Amino acid sequence: MSETSTQPLQYRVDGPEDAPALILGPSLGTTWHMWDRQVPELAKQWCVVRFDLPGHGGAPAEATAAVPELAQRLLDTLDSLGVQRFGYAGCSLGAAVGAELALRHGERVASLALIAASPRFGTADEFRQRGVIVRANGLEPMARSAPERWFTPGFAAAQPAIVEWAVQMVRTTEPGCYIAACEALAAFDIRAELGSIAVPTLVLVGAEDQVTGPAEARTLVAGIPDARLALVPGASHLAPVEQPAAVTDLLTDHFSTGWYNPSETTTGITLPPDRRPAPPAPVPEAEAPAEREEPAKAQAQVPDEQEAQPEPAGPQGRPDLHDAGMRVRREVLGDEHVDRATASADAFTEDFQQLITRYAWGEIWTRDGLDRRTRSVITLTALVAGGHLDELRFHTTAALRNGLSPAEIKEVLLQTAIYCGVPAANAAFKVAAEVIREETRPQE
């Protein structure tokens, strides 16, 4: 097993231990039970290993805020089981983990299935905003909106027991781990690297998925050299739950045919003593199973390969600080704010925009000496002291995105009342209260 300071992921094994290993990765807010309907059939041919994300399904709440770190934790877990080469199917965040494995550890991935996937999931702002809402309100807003994101309206109306089960999965997730997973999705972007995925890949998407729909799936198929597309009629984001038979058939066909040297995966699994807590209740049986539909035939597209662009260099061969600064500036302030600021720049203000991007964001905010929460505390205090209320407005938003809770921002402003003056703090409280109300309002 690889040396790591993190705990192994919570997992479950089904099927013959001497069969080729097939790993199933879950979506954000779900548990390994989202695969319950696929396991009986898949376990006839493969040793199926399901895992839970940190803080999901009773798993240890050791938050992991980057997809590469999640992938490494999974590899460490598989190492402990003696699994070297495997097939992998993942949904949404689980698909991001699979794509990361195929890119960085392609020698271990025999075949890949990406479900409800995208090379970039929405925008970083959207996922960081989710984190702000959860930090302020808990997971109830996410739980209430899950059925709309995950299922078609007809399925949600016809299967209330499954909908309630899905809502409970979200409610029982540890909030800090949910926020960290949102951060992982916010930072995930492999659009320029798709051509480097060198394993046979099935891209499977619900035809009615409004989160990561057919357009995102076609982008994956166009970018991955050996990829084919499968649309599942009558399914939204959680296609394995909503159309279990169709998804099972597609996975069985793919992993039976799109698998290089499957004998290499038959190394046997060594199960250590069970350390898992009691898992939550599995998905309930559908009240009236939908009539089975034949999935659409897979389509393949082979794109032109893209050449990687070298990192730009600044004066005297030093790395240009602009790109690093722009990345951090967007992560902290949000794309909308940065786009507005850069779009309004003209010949008179453009040099100033370049200056703050390179030196405020590229030189200072990228330093390792302080974390972003601490830098936000310092920045808020300095802005109150200077009376810069316009800057205080968007840096309050930035503080929420950097992990400060409304209660912590209140404490910062109370501290400024003593050391910067009551009038300055009074004005700051008015600005901050307005921003916090807007930013933490649950999205209905």
Per-residue pLDDT of 215-247, as tens digits, reads 999 999 999 999 999 999 999 999 999 999 999
Provide the percentage of residues in the chain whose pLDDT is more than 90: 69
Integer Cα distance of 444 and 437 in angstroms: 15
pLDDT tens across 255-276, in order?
998 765 555 544 556 666 554 4
14 vs 285: which has the higher pLDDT: 14
Strands (E) in 108-207, as ranges, are 109-115, 201-206
**Which H helix or E strand runs over 232?**
strand 227-232
**pLDDT computed for residue 132 by the predictor:** 92
Q: Tokens for 116?
A: 């409800």
Q: What is the DSSP-derived secondary structure letter of residue 38?
A: T
Q: Which residues contact 102 (CB under 8 A, 6 or more apart)?
A: 88, 109, 112, 197, 198, 199, 201
For domain 315-439, which CATH number applies: 2.40.50.140, 1.10.3720.10, 2.60.40.790, 1.20.1290.10? Answer: 1.20.1290.10
Looking at residue 342, its pLDDT comes to 86
How many whole angstroms separate alpha carbon 315 and alpha carbon 313?
7
Structure confidence at residue 444 (pLDDT): 56
Superfamily of domain 11-300: Alpha/Beta hydrolase fold, catalytic domain (3.40.50.1820)
DSSP letter for 18, please. Answer: T
Smallest CA-to-CA distance from 166 within 57, 300, 292 is with 57
Q: What would the pLDDT profile of 191-212 be if each residue is shown by its tens digit? A: 999 999 999 999 999 999 999 9
Domain boundaries, the chain: 11-300, 315-439
Q: Is the pLDDT of residue 381 over 90?
A: yes
pLDDT number for residue 274: 52
Mean pLDDT of 361-373: 91
pLDDT in tens, 305-351: 344 344 444 444 445 788 888 988 888 888 888 888 888 888 899 89
pLDDT at 296: 43
Write the single-letter amino acid at 263: S
